[in-house]
Amino acid sequence: MALALYRLGRFAFRKKWWFIAAWLVALFSVGAITAAAAPKFATDFELPNTDSDRAMSVMKTDFPAFNDQLLKSPTTVVIAADDGLANHEAQIYALVGKLRALPHVVMPEQTVNPVAAAAANPKLASLFIGDNGKVGLIKIQQDIPREDLTVDDMEQFKDILAESSGNGLQVEGTGALMQVQEQGGAAELLGFAIAFVVMIVAFGALVAAFIPIITGIVGVGLTMLLVTLSAKFMDVQQSATAIITMLGIAVSIDYALFIVSRYRSELNLGGTREAAAGRAVGTAGSAVVFAGLTVMVAVAALSVVGIPFITQMGIAASFAVLIAVLGAITLIPALLGAFGRFAFKPRIPGIRHGDEPDDQPSNGLRVGRFITRYPLPVAIIGLVLLAVAAGPMTRLELGMDTTSDAEYSATALLQRGFGEGVNGELFVVVTDADGGNVAPAADAVVAHAKTLDNVANPSQITWVGNGPNPANSQEGATAALITVTPEKSPSGPETHTLMDQLRDYAEDAPNGATVNVGGQTAILSDISDKLSSALIPFLLLVVGLAFIILMVVFRSILVPLTATIGFLFSVCATFGATVLIFQEGYFGLIDHTKPVISFLPIFLIGVVFGLAMDYQVFLVTRMREEYVHGVSAKDSVIIGYQHGARVVTSAALIMISVFAAFMLAPDTIAKMMGFALAAAVFFDAFVIRMMVVPAVTALMGDAAWKLPRWLDKILPNVDVEGTAIREIPIEDSTDPTDERKPAPTPA
């Protein structure tokens, strides 16, 4: 492989304009096709093989009008006054009028003054008024999908709330209009800016810092366009694109950084720039290919969860990594050829440029020597630090609390007046096994639901049927719909228990009737269950496949074993830090604590395991390369650390910057994901890869690179260390403009 990549690198360098043109043509052509095709992302949410999915299928078939309402945009306005809402009726009527005038509002007659509604129908007063007349609800229904609501719609709604508050009346909102996702871009731009500064420091030159940025923009742009275009031919949800920007930028810049750094090192050995580009792609490019393959395996394995939107995110992420690898081994040598002798110009004074001789002292050399001199204490200190950080993980709580920070005031009022579960209804559907009269089974389920704990207003529970007579839908019904409102939080354990009790009643339902529970609360609960059950199989699959890939790369058992065990330490430390800050509220970084979002563990493992193996490959391949070519085990660790530390440090800082920038988002979930990813990269890159791995490798000595003879015969030899390339003589430069060597003196 190294020899093939060497030839590819030289060819791309020599035919630079053809390769650059090919990438640009691909980018603009796919962009034009996507614009012409105008694809739209799917809006249907599916959760196959779950009880909530079966319930939603029944609702779609037998209660289409009700199901359509669920797919639209409901919003709840909560009003409160300590002196009683009846003293603020003029304000409330003005508020109702403004809400009815919002765009796309349907059934405005149902958007009513809760005080008047309670007075008109005292039996249903508890649905409108709570806390002895001090808290009220106003419902809004808009005939527009949630995903089509805009930031302007949200701002208009917030302005109405602000205008209507005052004089003792508090007005808050929750629901669709408060959950509109604001346009992104600020985090990405900040990540790019910090990455650019890091690369200037890494290269000590301005032009070279642009090369990774260019490849990142082209790669992410092309991937985003291709995934968007695929929505024209298959069901793809927009969530599939969320990971492309985050991961695509990071790996594109990392891979470019690795190859450009190796190119600069190869220039110091002499020969033409074309030969140096070939050697860089042949050696560092081989590491990039296998690092990328490891990341692709890690994120593509998210499909084992069995949740379509997570599967799509994993496939999109793996495709983004594939584009990044292709860009690294073709576009980067072409760009190096295009910039020529100006690639590392102008040099930034006062910054180490990275092209100094190997025997010149550097921080990487000093730290490498220190680690190999005291390997055991260094390894112990690193692992103890991670163990301390992992301590709070024992208190980890997972949940799917999707309440945004802007909704917490409304949620507090809901809890005060109506209970936490007022917006977390469970929709129980009952169907007769033979398609006959469902009334006996529906009556039995209603009676059972009234006896359960954590049910709000049990006396008002009833059922509606799909009978042909709208005035009496129970007559001749073959399916029944029952709305059960929990008292406690929709994401709390009490509501989960209530849902299970309703589902379990199917065994006792008359005539073998089927009972299913759906709705957003049930869907989120089922997502949590599927994620929890898939976590261990996913971890085993990812670690197993990656272990095989690393054995092929390093031709060793102990080195891959050290890499994977170290990753488990860093992940546990990440979970501990996340629990401490977001679940328990330490350091005051967030205003509202909440359980760790259920999909974070499996998402974190998939993304960060791949990135961790990136650093492992970048750092340790150079150690193996030196060892294979005759350097002692100890000295190979020092040399590999000296050459790899600067690159891995720069790459990790870029990753941390990209991920940590998402902590600027207003939403706690986005902050949680950004923090967890940034913390995981910090723990893994700076503690495991830069401390523990070289220390343990030095402790193992020659044994680190041993492989059983029978296994050595089975594994393919991919020559990542570039033995075939070393046999190629380094060509002398004949370029008279090459400023790295003095021009020859005529005889």
pLDDT digits 0-9 by tens, 379-402? 999 999 999 999 999 888 887 777
Query: What is the maximum alpha-carbon separation in the chain?
Result: 111
- Mean pLDDT over 621-639 rounds to 85
Distance between CA atoms of 455 and 457, rounded to whole angstroms?
A: 6
Position 317 pLDDT exceeds 50: yes
Mean pLDDT to the nearest integer, 122-134: 87
Report the top-level CATH class of 426-518.
alpha beta
Q: Which of residues 207 and 744 earns the better pLDDT score?
A: 207
Please tell me which of 29-38, 207-216, 710-719 the model is most confident about, judged by mean pLDDT.
Answer: 29-38
Token pair for 628: 């294979």
E strands of 354-471, at which residues? Answer: 398-399, 426-431, 463-465
Residue with tokens 């694109």: 241
Give the span between the Cα atoms of 444 and 465, in whole angstroms.
Answer: 14
Which of 21-35, 186-200, 294-308 is most confident? 21-35
Model confidence at 745: pLDDT above 50 = no
Q: Give the pLDDT of residue 351.
A: 65
In the predicted model, is pLDDT for residue 496 greater than 90?
A: no
The CA distances from residue 651 to 342, 354, 619, 694, in Å, are 23, 15, 11, 18
- Ramachandran class of 621: left when φ > 0, alpha when ψ lies in -120 to 50, beta otherwise: alpha
Mean pLDDT for 32-36 is 90
pLDDT at 270 over 80: no
Residues forming CATH 3.30.70.1320 domain(s) in the chain:
426-518
In this predicted model, which residue has the larger pLDDT, 712 or 12? 12
pLDDT > 70 fraction of the chain, expressed in percent and rounded:
92
pLDDT of residue 733: 41
Model confidence at 744: pLDDT above 50: no
* Preceding peptide of 346 cis, ω within 30°: yes
Cβ-in-10-Å burial (0-12, 13-18, 19+) of 258 comes to buried
C-alpha 415/C-alpha 410 separation (Å) is 9
Determine the Cα–Cα distance for residues 699 and 637; give it in Å rounded to an integer.
10
Strand partners, 166: 169
Class of domain 73-178: alpha beta
Across 569-586, average pLDDT:
91
pLDDT at 742: 44
Compute CA 7 distance to the chain's CA centroid, rounded to the nearest angstrom. Answer: 36
- Three-class SS of 478-512: CEEEEEECECCCCCCHHHHHHHHHHHHHHHHCHHH
| Whole-number pLDDT of residue 719 | 62
State the pLDDT at residue 354. 52
User: Who's near 91: CB < 8 A, 6+ residues apart?
Assistant: 164, 167, 169
DSSP 135: E
- Round the average pLDDT of the chain to a whole number and report it: 83
| Amino acid at the residue 622 | R
Top pLDDT among 726 and 565 is at: 565
Q: How many CB atoms lie within 10 A of CB 360?
A: 8
For residue 718, give the 3-state DSSP assignment. coil
